[in-house]
Amino acid sequence: MKRVDPRARLRLAVLTAAAGLVCAVVVLIPEAEIAGWYGASLLRPVFQPACHQITDRCLDLGAGPLPVCARCAGLYAGGLVGLLVTLLSGHRFQPPLRWLAAAATPSIIDFILGFTGLPTLANWPRFVAALLPGLVVGLMVAEAVCRMTAGNRSAPAENHVE
């Protein structure tokens, strides 16, 4: 298994910090509202283009519904975990596309069931089902960052055919 080179690790750290910030904002908005931070409610519409925000489908961690649905929360959390795994382990996982297809299957089935009006998963199982594709996408993004860094560094050498 290939190792993450130090320059790629720095970029990955920045990307992971940004992803962590987004996840923290998602979790902290209801807490901030409870604490009387009025501006927090105005942050909810920021996520509207990225999620339907139907309250019944959002996780409630005790302070009120999150600003994104359980599926989106699972995707974000999974993506963060994927980036963290690559960053902390220092290994490049290089997941193929079929991993993503396999990981997304439960969420796709759940989506189709919901679309056709059949019973669907509850919020927490839906969150867990979305964690898997999120995780694979996180690993893929981390691999893409590593490749991009490696490509930039070795570009002049690759111009010559040995």
Partner 1 sequence: MDTKAPSMMLPALIAGGSLGFVSGIPISNCACCLWAAGAGFLAAFLYSKTCKKAGTDFDTGRGGVIGLLTGAVFGVVGGGVNSVFSLITGGLDVESMREAIDANPMITDPEAAAQAVELFESVGPMVFILAFALIWIVLGVIFSALGGLVGGSVFKVQAPPTVADGGWSSNPPSMAFGGGESPPPPVSPGEPPREE
Residues found near partner 1 in the complex (CB under 8 A): 30, 33, 38-42, 44-46, 48-53, 55, 58, 64-65, 67, 71-72, 75, 97, 111, 137, 140-141, 143-145, 147-148, 151-152, 159-162
Strand partners, 126: none
On whether the CB atoms of residues 12 and 86 are closer than 8 A, the answer is yes
Nearer to partner 1, 90 or 150 (CB): 150
- Shortest Cβ distance from residue 90 to partner 1 (Å)? 18
Considering the complex, state which of residue 41 and residue 90 has its C-beta at the smaller distance from partner 1: 41
Residue 93 C-beta: closest distance to partner 1, Å: 12
Q: CB neighbours of 18 closer than 8 A, spacing ≥ 6?
A: none
The minimum distance between CB 102 and partner 1, in angstroms, equals: 15
**Cβ 17 to partner 1 shortest distance, Å:** 14
From the list 134, 131, 132, 110, the residue with the least C-alpha distance to 122 is 110
Q: Which of 68, 70, 87, 85 is CA-nearest to residue 25?
A: 68
Instruction: Tell me how far apart the alpha carbons of residues 123 and 69 are, in angstroms, rounded to a whole number.
Output: 8
Separation CA 110–CA 144 (nearest Å):
29
Pick 5 or 33: Cβ nearer partner 1: 33
